[in-house]
A and B are shown apart, each in its own frame.
Chain A
Amino acid sequence: GDSVTQMEGPVTLSEEAFLTINCTYTATGYPSLFWYVQYPGEGLQLLLKATKADDKGSNKGFEATYRKETTSFHLEKGSVQVSDSAVYFCALSDRNQFYFGTGTSLTVIP
C-alpha cells in the first residue's frame, strides 16, 4: 500500500541555518506530493505541492522537488527564521486518499 516515511525529529537549528527534512514515499499509482505545516494550536496549512515527476514546489523560501527515481520529496530552506518553528508533514495523495508522514518538529533558536 501507499505510505510516506519522514525524517524523525525533533530538529533544532539556529536562525539562518540551512534546513533539510527528508521525505520518501511508496505509491502504486501516480501520486501528488505535498508539504503541510502546523503551527502550535492550529490546523494544517499547505506549504507547497508537486503533482508530477520533476516538478518543484516552492513557497515562502521553502522548496521541494518531486524525484520519481529516488521516490523522494525532501523539503529545503536556505535560511530558517524563528517564525518557521512548527511541525512539518509530508503527504501523498493517490486516488482519493491522503497519506501523511509522522511529522517533523522544527525549532529555530535566535
Chain B
Amino acid sequence: DTEVTQTPKHLVMGMTNKKSLKCEQHMGHRAMYWYKQKAKKPPELMFVYSYEKLSINESVPSRFSPECPNSSLLNLHLHALQPEDSALYLCASSRYTSAQETQYFGPGTRLLVL
C-alpha cells in the first residue's frame, strides 16, 4: 500500500480564519513533506519532517505552521492567510530523507482564500 491521504479535498477560508490540513500515511515512512503547487507550476517544497522533527523550512511565512504529532500524521495549520496563498497543497512521504528514496504524494487539498 503506497497511499498518502489528505483531508479535506477542498477548503475555502477567509483571511481571518484558522484552519488545518491533515495528511496521513501508514507505510512506516519516517520522512514527510508539505508542498505548495500553483496552477501550471511544479510543486514547491515548504517543510520537511524527518523522524517527527522539522528538518527543513523553506523560508515559509509564519502564517503556515506545520506539526507532526506522530510518525503517521502531518498537519499544516493555517492562520491569517492571503489570497495569494490559494493553491493545491500536497503532502508526501518517503521511507527516509535519502536521495534514493521515492516520495509518495497524496491527492492534495485545494485551498481558496477569499
Contacts and interface: CB of A to CB of B under 8 A. Distances in A.
A75 to B, nearest CB: 15
Contacts, number: 60
Contacts of A83: none
A42 interface: yes
Contacts of A32: 99-101
A94 B92 CA distance: 16
B14 interface: no
Contact of B48 (A29, A36, A42, A96): A96
Interface residues of A, number: 25
B24 to A, nearest CB: 14
Contacts of A29: 99
Contacts of A30: 99
Interface string B28-45: 000101000000111101
Contact of B99 (A31, A42, A89, A101): A31
B98 interface: yes
B45 A46 contact: no
B101 to A, nearest CB: 7
A60 interface: no
A4 to B, nearest CB: 9
Contacts of B40: 103, 105
A102 B31 CA distance: 24
Nearest to A33: B99
Contacts of B102: 34, 46, 49
8 contacts: A43-B108, A44-B105, A45-B105, A46-B104, A96-B31, A96-B56, A100-B42, A103-B40
A94 B42 contact: no
